[in-house]
Amino acid sequence: MNSESIINPKYDLSQYEKISEKYEKDPLAYLEQYYTKYFLIDSNENTSEDFYIYQAPNKLCVIGLAPTHPLLQQSQKVKSIKFDEKISQSINKKKQNPLSVKSEICVITTEEGRNYSIKAGIVGWVINFNMRLDKDDDLLQKKPFTNGYLAIIKPKQDVPSKALNHCIDEEKYKEIRKLNI
């Protein structure tokens, strides 16, 4: 490297052609740089309350609504998002029992009075609720896969295959839900 490029670095764009192509097709493709995507399919055959779980390299999991979730499929207006108070208060406190997959962490109520229960989805501890959802009602439905995430959970199990073995990858999710995005 010469001294000029140490002060004023040049970037070889040919290295980034492929990634740019991918990003142009899907502006959200950048998330794959930071997360491994998993999906949690509704166990009830008649509903499709599905969730995504993004896992970061540090094992933390971001949970949010999958594209097939009724709140994103039908035009329902969200009235309130209530995070579980007990869990809220336990964040950052030591020696908490981990939540189970089925533990309810949040309830979303629509204007029509429908309640959607949001579960932890993995065994672990909530370390952050997305409090911006409180301030901005539209965020959940407008940017569900980024700014509208619901919570960040620290899995009890460090090994992803153990922590997330009840989840499926994106390909399988699309296959089951017959999506071709």
Partner 1 sequence: MSKKRFWENDHELIPQIRVSNESDRWKRVRYDDVNEDIEVLYSNVMQYVMENYINLTYRTIVDTLLDIKCCARCIFRFLGVRDYKCYATSEEVLLKILNRIRLNEENITTSSTLQEEHPSTNILLSKTQEKPICTTCFDLLYQADTIECLWPIIENFNSHNFQVKTFNLSVSLPSGTIINNHSIKVYIRQTCRERNLSVDLSNTIDLKDPFKHLLGWSIEKKLGLKYYYQSPFNISIEYYHKNSQQNHLILTHIPSAEFQLKKVRIKGKAIWTGDSRQNIIAALEKVPDSDFISIAKCPPLEDKERWENYPPILEHSAIYVGGRYIKLSREISQSPWIINGERLAETSIAECIGEILREKFKCDDYNFVAAGREDVNVRMLGNGRPFYFEIMNPRNPFFFQQELDNTQKEINKTHKNLVQISHLTMITEQDLVIIKEGEETKRKTYSALVWISKIVTSEIIDKINQYQDKEFIIEQQTPIRVLQRRTQMVRPKIIYSMKAKALENHFLTLQLQTEAGTYIKEFIHGDLGRTKPNLGDLLDCYADIMALDVLEVDLKWPPN
d(CA 88, CA 134): 14
Find the shortest distance in angstroms from Cβ 23 to partner 1: 6
- Going through 41-114 in order, the beta strands assigned E by DSSP cover 51-55, 61-65, 78-83, 104-110
Which residue do the tokens 């009840």 mark? 166
d(CA 8, CA 58): 33
| C-beta of 126 vs 167, nearer to partner 1 | 126
| C-beta of 41 vs 144, nearer to partner 1 | 144
53 CB neighbour count, 10 Å cutoff: 22
| C-beta of 2 vs 180, nearer to partner 1 | 2
Find the shortest distance in angstroms from Cβ 65 to partner 1: 13
Chain contacts with partner 1 (rule: CB under 8 A):
1, 6-9, 11, 13, 16, 19-20, 23-24, 27-28, 30, 33-34, 56-60, 62, 91-92, 127-128, 130, 132, 139, 143, 146-149, 152, 154
Find the shortest distance in angstroms from Cβ 62 to partner 1: 7
| C-beta of 11 vs 112, nearer to partner 1 | 11
And the tokens for 117? 């229960």
Amino acid at 89: Q
Instruction: Name, in order, each residue with C-beta under 8 angstroms of 34's C-beta and a sequence gap of 6 or more.
Output: 54, 56
Find the shortest distance in angstroms from Cβ 134 to partner 1: 13
